[in-house]
Amino acid sequence: MRISDFSGWLNDLLEPHAFKDYCVDGLCVEASDKVTRVVTGVSFRDRLIDAAIEEHADCIIVHHPNGFWQGENRVLVGKFGERMRRLMQNGISLYGYHLPLDGHMEIGNNVQIARALGLEKIDGFMREGERTVGVVGEFAEPVSREGFVDLACGVFEHGVQHSLLYGSEMVRKVAICSGSGASGIEEAKSLGCDTFITGEIKEAVPIAVEELGFNLVSAGHHRTEIFGVRALARKIENDLKIPAKFVDIDNPV
């Protein structure tokens, strides 16, 4: 497939123009004029390039386009320059989609987590630009806090890192924002949620949820953001018939 057509398909699907983001969303490095095999991963890093070379891929798609965040120096020196040389020498183009892969209501991180938990009535919250990045959903029947933690441990391969259970003993309405999404706690509370799922948390978060009387579960930044790039690989294979493989290089943070 021509890379221009592939870029158009991705942008139509993920609508990066509709999000207020702080990194490049879309094509970051054009190293070939075509896309014949794709590798997806959470973060752009040396080992993901290694995996793409091993898979004979000519395209990488990541959620975290490290090196292309706002304010980063994109001069082609040092480690960044080395990565760019490896991409160009091996004919591997690079795409990054950050908030669009959090908020997408079919393949996004948060809707995928909500479905894995068995939530219903799923809707968006936490607006960033014209779109939302988090989701809220409800259980058909409330579950105990302890039962909810067990359920979350089943959804996340490496389990739960923090269980801060200061709210309702029964979990009914859940807000989800992967990665560093805990800034949405107060909005979630105002929407009638009793529980929040996110990735990593800052020092102030346990204090906030205790004082709000709220439940929060965190499972790791990386580990809550494997869902979108994994679902995107499946969609590329199903819709475009281009071989695509999700490669999980774990990061415990």
Per-residue model confidence as pLDDT tens digits over 210-234 = 999 999 999 999 999 999 999 999 9
CB 32 within 8 A of CB 58: yes
What is the reported pLDDT for 188? 98
103-223 has which CATH code?
3.40.1390.30
Average pLDDT over residues 77-94: 97
* Cα angle 57, 58, 59; round to 5: 95
% of the chain exceeding 90 in pLDDT: 99
Flag whether the pTM goes above 0.85. Answer: yes
pLDDT in tens, 173-220: 999 999 999 999 999 999 999 999 999 999 999 999 999 999 999 999
**CA–CA dist 167, 158 (Å, integer):** 24
What is the reported pLDDT for 41? 98
Q: Which CATH number fits domain 3-98+226-246: 3.40.50.12280, 3.30.70.920, 3.40.1390.30, 3.90.230.10?
A: 3.40.1390.30
What is the reported pLDDT for 250? 97
- Ranges assigned E (strand) in 93-180: 93-96, 120-128, 131-144, 162-165, 170-176
pLDDT in tens, 37-85: 999 999 999 999 999 999 999 999 999 999 999 999 889 999 999 999 9
**CA–CA dist 137, 197 (Å, integer):** 11
pLDDT in tens, 103-136: 999 999 999 999 999 999 999 999 999 999 999 9
Q: What is the mean pLDDT of the chain?
A: 97
Q: Give just the sign of the alpha carbon dihedral 16, 94, 53, 35.
A: positive
Task: Give span(s): CATH 3.40.1390.30, the chain.
Answer: 3-98+226-246, 103-223
Average pLDDT over residues 72-101: 96
What is the reported pLDDT for 206? 98
| Beta carbons within 10 angstroms of residue 239's beta carbon | 10
Place 167 in a pLDDT band, splitting at 50, 70 and 90: very high
**Stated length of the chain:** 253
The HSE-up count of residue 116 (CA atoms within 13 Å, CB side) is 22
What is the reported pLDDT for 225? 98
